[in-house]
Chains A and B, each alone.
Chain A
Amino acid sequence: DVKVTQSSRYLVKRTGEKVFLECVQDMDHENMFWYRQDPGLGLRLIYFSYDVKMKEKGDIPEGYSVSREKKERFSLILESASTSQTSMYLCASSSPGVGDTQYFGPGTRLTVL
Chain B
Amino acid sequence: SQQGEEDPQALSIQEGENATMNCSYKTSINNLQWYRQNSGRGLVHLILIRSNEREKHSGRLRVTLDTSKKSSSLLITASRAADTASYFCATGNNQGGKLIFGQGTELSVKP
Interface residues of A (CB under 8 A from B): 4, 30-31, 33, 35, 40-43, 45, 48, 50, 56, 59, 88, 90, 92, 94, 96, 99-107, 109
Contact = CB atoms under 8 A, between A and B. Distances in A.
B98 A48 contact: yes
18 contacts: A4-B42, A33-B97, A35-B101, A42-B101, A42-B103, A43-B43, A48-B96, A50-B97, A59-B1, A92-B43, A96-B97, A99-B92, A100-B94, A100-B97, A102-B90, A103-B45, A104-B42, A106-B42
Contacts of B13: none
Contacts, number: 66
B88 A100 contact: no
> 6 nearest interchain CB pairs?
A104-B42, A42-B103, A100-B92, A31-B97, A43-B101, A104-B43
A33 B104 CA distance: 19
Contact of B50 (A33, A45, A99, A106): A99
B41 interface: yes
